[in-house]
Amino acid sequence: MMMIRATFLTISLFVHGYVRSSTPRLFILVLLMVIPVVIGLTSPIYEMSTVFPRQFFFPILTASAIVLLVNVAIFPEFGSTYLGLTTIEALQKTLKVQKDASQLFLTYRNRQTSDINGNSAGKKPSLSDLTEAKAELRKKVAECKGALTECSFELAFSVLAPWELKPIASKGVKKLVANTLSLVGACESKYALLGDGGVTHNQAAENKHSGKMRSVEGANIDQVRPRKEIESGDQQLLRYLLERVEEPLSGLQATIDRCVDIINTCVACTFDVPTLPSLKQGEGTPRRPKGILVQELDVHIDWLENEIEEFGRRSTEALEGAALKETDNVEMIDGEIDVMPRDEIFLISSFMLNLRQAASHTLGMLKHSRKLVELHKDRKETRSIWFPKIKLRKWLFSGAEEPESLPAAKRDAYLKEGGDPDEDEMTSRETVRERKDQGREKTVRERVADFLEWAGDSDDVLYAFKLTLGVMLVTWPAFVSGWQMWFYYNRGLWVGLIFILVFENAVGPTIWIFALRAVGTLIGSVWGYAAYEARNGNEYVIAAMILVGMIPSYYVQLGTRYMKAGMICTISMCVVALSTHLQTVPGSSQENFTKRSVTMLIGGVAATLVQMIVLPAKARVRLKESLASAIVQITKMETCIAYGVDDTRNIISTPRLFRKFERSAKKAEAALTSAETFLGFTKQEPRLKGSFDTQEVVYKEIIFVLRQIVDKMENMLQMRKAYGSAVLEQYNSLVYGYRRNVAASITLMLFACHEALTTKLPLPQFLPSARLAHLRMVVRVRQILLEEDERQEREEPNERLDASAGARRRALKLKFLSWNASAAALEECIEYVEELVNLLKMLVGSNEFRSGLLHRPTYREYVEKMRQQRMGTGGRGVEGDKKSSTIASSLAGRLAKIRGEEEDASVEIDIPNPLQRIHSRRVAVKTGRQKTRTVEAVEEEDRW
């Protein structure tokens, strides 16, 4: 009898663990399944009656009915209003960041800036704030997508169905945020070339404290960041080009601002949002209007379309005018103005086209807002009940059991394929396998081998095995006849239930959930004990005390991220007080309090030990696997971008290519989100090798770099999809070899990074230079344009007045501007890939040369080292370098004092941490120049 009970309990626990790990959406289902099984099979009852099912069935149905009645009839909270409010807040935040980015990008000299409406700006936008806002914008996109998904699965009572807002809440917001992130990236590149862009010392002093608050953890990180290619650009040319395009950019940004406000108003009117959250200056919250005229929306749609066309014309004319020197500016660049493909043109094109693309996405959302207003009027503002529109497969795999929990990463994807294979690869493999297996059936041995291989590589099976083993270890006394009653009266079944609730998919989450539930259990048990002892078991006092205790518990459960602590607190206070009052098991309130606390500790400690000892799943390992998966998906994205490198024909991108890219981009984003979650859990698990803080900084930077690469690649393909690419569509047969070198270099560097993460082997000393390959490609494109122009000049000598004017105009066409923007994004991608390589060198090392020229990072530094050795200062290694730098800095300081130009060293510029090194290098270069002048002066004196 006991063996049969143990067998059925084992099967139930294994099913619970497997379903919980593979499909977290069904966690509540399998939890309600396993709780009666554990209670029933570990109890000393041997006769089955209708009382036992009713003890579980009736309370669950009653609670469900009460929840449904309260949420639908008494306090209805339908998701349509929340969806509309979330969408409006996301659009407002995106618009604010976009306006600040435009204002900061167009600041190219020391002067008081103005906003897009011409008003004097009281506070200049900070590049550091814009960089930090990237994470907030990604969070807003996730919130909109989550709200839309949940509303689609819920009952709605509104005029419009929640899924009718999808073109704005999901697609529109995501595309607008993507372009805004690219605008912020353009501001960072502009800072790398022009510096602070007019930040005064007063503004820097205001940001002094915020600069000092930055952690010194990033000091070592700054040393591995490579130099930006645009740092060597022409500052005067960029300032001149910014002056030319300032007016059309400001005008288009003002139009976008007005149209986004109209979109927010339409969403508020059609989805019952009572007020409009505004980020503009002024007091009071604007209320939504009672109605909107469709004719007015038509006027704004036509206005925005005309503004986009006008922006394209004016911006192109501005750049053509710059190329033809149509200006009276006395500070104009000496010589011929070069608007052929180069870094400055890449930067200007990137900002122009991303702002234009943002306007196009705003136009699409504005047109859909018009449809929403028409539907709202056609239905005569009559509310309807919208039943959930559920796609079972999408619902099952669209969420986790808790926000802080994630399913375990799939180990077979990393160990065998190096990442999660896409659908095309899986289809091709299945086809090959089917052809192999045609004509014969698998033997029993082969089927068993396939099953064992699948079970050994499945994290879901591993999790279910560990859960089953742990629960059986803590509940085995229930299946021994002599200990069964002792186990029952001492509440031993609570240990098994607590083990199930605490056991997570990794060591870190298990420890964290154990801590939360232990605190909640202790507080709830104390309150339940106090509720019973207040009037010696008076039921009215118990009910009142529990009601008072539930208020903070529900607040913690619903309003904070410690929801499991609030949940277990409510359960514990009810269990201790009511079990003592009802005497379900003999015992006083003190005994029940002690049993509840002790069983919680036993179950939590057992779950932690099982997770740490039996095939431990460490968050650090999951972190590396997630990063490896992200790198594999980024490699697939790079393959889509490099499409056609082996084809001598001109390339036209296909929808299939875009779908494959989007699928890989989604998987990369999901892998990076998992990596961020597991990175947070690394602090909560023990580590024998010492503190993980230093490596945590490196992994955090790796996640940041990978997100930047994904954003840049998405921007590249978005530009190609929207405007095409002149180089690919016209000159691919001439540049495909150069494109192949760029793609091969990036792919090899990403492959080396993936192998370093998965194998922990040092990186090789030889890695191809993608930056040099990209520079060669750009030079080749310039050469092709000039050669084509010379050929046309020879064919039509009478019609060509300027030998290079045609090439310049051709280089400023929309398709060529699109290639320029893509080239800017690709250049930044290469820089971030180089930084990724350097970051991984900090983790796994590299096979560097021990000495010699190849060991030095650059030839210039090697020459400087040889010069120091000749002067007698190079033989002291690192200390000598430090000493020489100290002498140089002190010498520069004395020289500055003599000239009366000493600056306040405490003043710090509020710039993002990744760009602080550029400011430091500028200071170092300035100091080096002063040192050179001083040395020359001393040598001149000695000569005389």
Report how far residue 725's alpha carbon sits from residue 714's, in angstroms, rounded to the nearest whole number.
Answer: 15
Contact 803, 793 (CB under 8 A): yes
Instruction: Answer yes or no: is pLDDT of 473 > 90.
Output: yes
- pLDDT by residue (tens digit) across 81-106? 888 888 999 999 999 999 999 988 88
Say how many C-beta atoms besides its own lie within 10 A of residue 825's C-beta. 27
924 pLDDT tier (thresholds 50, 70, 90): low
Contact 706, 616 (CB under 8 A): no
Residue 373's Cβ-side half-sphere holds a number of Cα atoms within 13 Å equal to: 24
440 pLDDT tier (thresholds 50, 70, 90): low
Instruction: Answer yes or no: is pLDDT of 282 > 80.
Output: no
Report how far residue 811's alpha carbon sits from residue 39's, in angstroms, rounded to the nearest whole number.
Answer: 76
Between 223 and 167, where is the model more confident? 167
327 pLDDT tier (thresholds 50, 70, 90): very low
Contact 707, 668 (CB under 8 A): no
Please give the DSSP secondary-structure letter assigned to residue 207: T
Report how far residue 359's alpha carbon sits from residue 304's, in angstroms, rounded to the nearest whole number.
Answer: 8
Instruction: Answer yes or no: is pLDDT of 406 > 70.
Output: no
pLDDT at position 602 is 93
Both tokens assigned to 378: 């056609």
Per-residue H/E/C for 851-919? CCHHHCCCHHHHHHHHHHHHCCCHHHHHHHHHHHHHHHHHHHHHHHHHHCCCCCCCCCCCCCHHHHHHH
Q: What is the largest CA-CA distance in the chain?
A: 115
809 pLDDT tier (thresholds 50, 70, 90): low
The DSSP annotation for 687-709 comes to -TT---HHHHHHHHHHHHHHHHH
Say how many C-beta atoms besides its own lie within 10 A of residue 224's C-beta. 18
Q: CA angle, corner 140, sides to 677 and 394, nearest 5?
A: 70
pLDDT at position 721 is 86
φ, ψ for residue 207, nearest 5 deg = -95, 15
Between 569 and 683, where is the model more confident? 569
Which DSSP helix (H) or strand (E) runs through 517?
helix 507-533
pLDDT at position 933 is 60
Report how far residue 889's alpha carbon sits from residue 885's, in angstroms, rounded to the nearest whole number.
Answer: 6
Report how far residue 435's alpha carbon sits from residue 449's, in angstroms, rounded to the nearest whole number.
Answer: 20
323 pLDDT tier (thresholds 50, 70, 90): low
Q: Percent of the chain, pLDDT > 70? A: 75
List for the chain the helix, strand, coil content (%; round to 5).
75, 0, 25
pLDDT at position 609 is 92
CA 658 and chain centroid, separation: 21
pLDDT at position 905 is 41
Among 791, 789, 819, CA closest to 806: 789
pLDDT at position 158 is 82
- pLDDT by residue (tens digit) across 510-523? 888 899 999 999 99
pLDDT at position 508 is 83
pTM: 0.80
Residues 106-141: b if buried by 16+ CB within 10 A, e if exposed: bbbeeeeeebbeeeeeeebbbbbebbebbeebbebb
* Range picked from 6-10, 154-158, 536-540 for highest mean pLDDT: 6-10
Q: Mind listing the domains of the chain with CATH numbers?
A: 79-278+290-393 (no CATH), 490-616 (no CATH), 619-795+802-848 (1.20.58)
pLDDT at position 345 is 83
Contact 225, 838 (CB under 8 A): yes
Instruction: Answer yes or no: is pLDDT of 109 > 50.
Output: yes
- pLDDT by residue (tens digit) across 815-860? 777 888 888 889 999 999 999 998 998 888 877 665 655 555 566 6
Q: How many residues does the chain have?
A: 944
* Range picked from 123-132, 357-366, 716-725 for highest mean pLDDT: 357-366
Alpha helices by DSSP H, listed for 324-422, are 343-378, 392-396, 411-415
- pLDDT by residue (tens digit) across 172-214? 899 999 999 999 988 888 888 887 644 433 333 334 333 333 3
Residue type, 805: A
Alpha helices by DSSP H, listed for 761-875, are 770-795, 805-811, 814-844, 859-870
434 pLDDT tier (thresholds 50, 70, 90): low
- pLDDT by residue (tens digit) across 580-605? 888 877 778 888 889 888 999 999 99
pLDDT at position 687 is 82
Helices 492-502 and 27-42, axial angle in degrees (round to 10):
160
Instruction: Answer yes or no: is pLDDT of 801 > 50.
Output: no
pLDDT at position 923 is 63
Among 336, 348, 341, CA closest to 780: 341
Among 156-170, 318-332, 606-620, 884-898, the least confident range: 884-898
Report how far residue 689's alpha carbon sits from residue 656's, in angstroms, rounded to the nearest whole number.
Answer: 47
Among 314-323, 575-584, 779-788, 824-833, the least confident range: 314-323
pLDDT at position 215 is 40
The DSSP annotation for 23-50 comes to -GGGHHHHHHHHHHHHHHHHSS--S--S
β-pair type (156-158, 384-386): antiparallel
* Range picked from 292-301, 434-443, 738-747, 806-815 for highest mean pLDDT: 738-747
pLDDT at position 846 is 78
pLDDT at position 742 is 92
Report how far residue 97's alpha carbon sits from residue 358's, in angstroms, rounded to the nearest whole number.
Answer: 13
Enumerate the β-bridge partners of residue 818: none
φ, ψ for residue 283, nearest 5 deg = -95, 155
- pLDDT by residue (tens digit) across 768-780? 889 899 899 988 8
Report the mean per-residue pLDDT for the chain: 78
Enumerate the β-bridge partners of residue 114: 120
Among 49-63, 478-492, 691-705, the least confident range: 49-63
Contact 190, 102 (CB under 8 A): no
pLDDT at position 361 is 92
pLDDT at position 14 is 94
